[in-house]
Amino acid sequence: MKNIISIIVTIISLAAFVLIVQPQYAAIKDMQVRGGQLEGVLDNARKLQSLRDSLLEKRNEIANSDIRRLEKLIPESADNVKLILEFEQIADRYGLSIQAASTTKEDESGEQQAQNFDIESKDYGIITLDFTINGGYAEFISFLKDVEKNLRITDIREFSITPPTGLEADYSFNLTIDTYWLKDNI
């Protein structure tokens, strides 16, 4: 009888181990593995937070006037109305008048499409501005010097001049200018 009780207790112990203890042990091991993974994620989050804090600290050290100058150098949006107004303001300083203006933007294949703001192949977009300015030659040269000194990066792609005819006293200058803007890559 003692042997039977010993065998029954052993069988019950083995069954309890197989049915209860072993699944719980496997669940604990799985939780330990996931806990280790979560610790790795938490370490990465701490590193990223530290990097973010140091970058914010460096950004806060930059003067607001310098930030405004950088934003003007290469703006973060393709605001073609603001661009046209900026060139019109420069032209007004010298008594020049902008007669016609149009803008286009380059797409991924390099082809130009009007009002296409999404260019995924580069970190920057290109705005092409075509306009006609009427006025005197000396004033136009002063206009070009101001465009050259302007913080906004511009490239004159095409230029043509039509001399005054008959009663007209003003030249007609046709310009095609490329300017750039940063895309949001977040």
Which pLDDT does position 126 carry in this prediction?
82
pLDDT for 130 equals 86
Instruction: Report the candidate in 126, 181, 179 with the shortest Cα–Cα distance to residue 156.
Output: 179
What order of strands is seen across the sheet that includes strand 154-162? 112-113, 97-106, 124-135, 171-182, 154-162
CA 143, CA 62: separation in Å to the nearest integer? Answer: 31
The Cα 101–Cα 177 span in angstroms is 11
Domain-by-domain residue ranges, the chain?
1-61, 75-182
Q: Is 23 exposed, middle or buried (0-12, 13-18, 19+ CB in 10 A)?
A: exposed
User: CATH assignment of 75-182, given 3.40.50.20, 3.40.50.2300, 3.40.50.620, 3.30.70.60?
Assistant: 3.30.70.60
User: What whole-number distance in Å separates Cα of residue 113 and Cα of residue 104?
Assistant: 6
The pLDDT profile of the chain, 186 residues, written as one tens digit per residue, is: 778 888 888 888 888 888 888 888 888 999 999 999 999 999 999 999 999 999 989 888 888 888 777 776 666 666 777 778 888 888 899 888 888 777 676 644 444 444 444 434 567 778 888 888 988 889 999 999 988 888 778 888 899 998 888 777 788 899 988 888 777 654
Q: Which residues contact 114 (CB under 8 A, 6 or more apart)?
A: 102, 103, 104, 105
Within 8 A by CB and 6+ apart from 152, the residues are 72, 73, 74, 75, 83, 86, 179
Q: What is the pLDDT of residue 20?
A: 85
d(CA 3, CA 9): 10
State the Cα–Cα distance between residues 52 and 127, nearest whole angstrom.
Answer: 32
- pLDDT for the residue numbered 109: 46
Exposed / middle / buried, residue 129 (Cβ in 10 Å: 0-12, 13-18, 19+): buried
What pLDDT is recorded for position 52? 93
